[in-house]
């Protein structure tokens, strides 16, 4: 394999036997793979930059969606030009939503690593909010609030279902967010919102298809917002979720847009590829077909 390939591993995963087995399996096939283990979260961008300086042609993010975001962000830099180095994915997180949305066999690490090393990369859109990048999904509202406030140990015990189980238990005790959706060239849309997802890819919260119409290379972000008027019922919402693009939907608002802004009356909990953000204003845009990803 002529490419210079680096695998950046989350520190907690580096000594796991199943990870070592996957690396050995791929290396035994003649694939040269350099393993890098940043000491902590803040060191990841530095390790990526050093790998690029040494001529890395593909950097594989070994970890959860947060690790993938960190590597992608380091590759993108200021976003002024497309990175020459491509991204691979070794899904080692709790939910692995990005990998799932890319159709990777998340139950077969060796195959995932083989794909990350050898498959030709394809150009993918990159989402941007308030100057920060995301490649999967940005969610806001009660789902993101639960994610931000659920103890880590509980997430580990429940796995991906932590987002839904705890969320459902609390949703009716939470006050909906009030705010406005601002789309260039259109009148502002005001109202109350329980949940919002902005998808470049499909899944969030451990396998929930929050952006069912999303495509990673269409130059658009899929906005799915659950509104909360007085007539709100879960029964009607479940019906609308089966046909998200129906313009007659009352509770589910679904649009595909290149840019828009969300303004809330209080700070919104936002989950950006697994990383928490707390802001009153979220300005979204997209870098079309900007990052090469092997999947």
Residue 225, CA distances (Å) to 9, 198, 245, 255 in order: 34, 9, 12, 9
What 3-state DSSP class applies to 11? helix
Contact 136, 91 (CB under 8 A): no
Contact 89, 68 (CB under 8 A): yes
Reduce the secondary structure of 54-121 to three states and give it as a string: CCCCEEEEEECHHHHHHHHHHHHCCCCCCCCCEEEEEECCCCCHHHHHCCCCCCCHHHHHHHHHHCCC
Known catalytic residue at 29 = no
The region that residue 160 occupies, defined by phi over 0 for left and psi between -120 and 50 for alpha, beta otherwise, is alpha
First to last CA, the chain: 17
Catalytic option among 111, 192, 259, 275: 275
Structure-token match 């009030």, residue found: 178
Which residues are part of the catalytic machinery?
A: 275
């Amino acid at each position: 394999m002529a490419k210079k390939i680096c695998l950046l591993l989350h520190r907690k995963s580096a000594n796991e036997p199943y990870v070592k087995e996957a690396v050995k399996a791929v290396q035994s096939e003649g694939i040269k793979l350099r393993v890098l283990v940043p000491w902590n979260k803040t060191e990841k961008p530095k390790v990526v930059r050093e790998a690029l300086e040494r001529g890395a042609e593909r950097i594989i993010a070994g970890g959860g969606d947060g690790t993938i975001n960190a590597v992608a962000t380091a590759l993108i830099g200021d976003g002024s030009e497309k990175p020459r180095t491509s991204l691979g994915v070794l899904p080692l997180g709790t939910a692995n939503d990005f990998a799932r949305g890319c159709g990777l066999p998340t139950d077969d690490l060796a195959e995932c690593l083989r794909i990350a090393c050898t498959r030709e990369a394809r150009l993918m859109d990159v989402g941007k909010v308030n100057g920060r990048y995301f490649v999967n999904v940005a969610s806001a509202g009660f789902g993101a609030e639960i994610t931000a406030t659920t103890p880590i140990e509980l997430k580990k015990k429940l796995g991906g279902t932590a987002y839904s189980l705890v969320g459902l238990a609390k949703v009716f005790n939470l006050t909906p967010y009030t705010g406005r959706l601002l789309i260039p060239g259109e009148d502002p849309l005001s109202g109350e919102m329980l949940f919002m997802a902005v998808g470049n890819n499909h899944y969030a919260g451990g396998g929930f298809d929050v952006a069912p119409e999303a495509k990673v290379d269409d130059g658009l972000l899929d906005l799915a917002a659950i509104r909360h008027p007085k007539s709100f019922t879960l029964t009607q919402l479940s019906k609308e979720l089966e046909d998200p693009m129906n313009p007659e939907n009352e509770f589910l608002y679904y649009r595909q847009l290149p840019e828009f802004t969300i303004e809330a009356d209080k700070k919104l909990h936002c989950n950006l590829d697994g990383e928490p953000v707390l802001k009153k204003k979220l300005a979204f845009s997209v870098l079309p077909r900007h990052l090469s990803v092997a999947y």
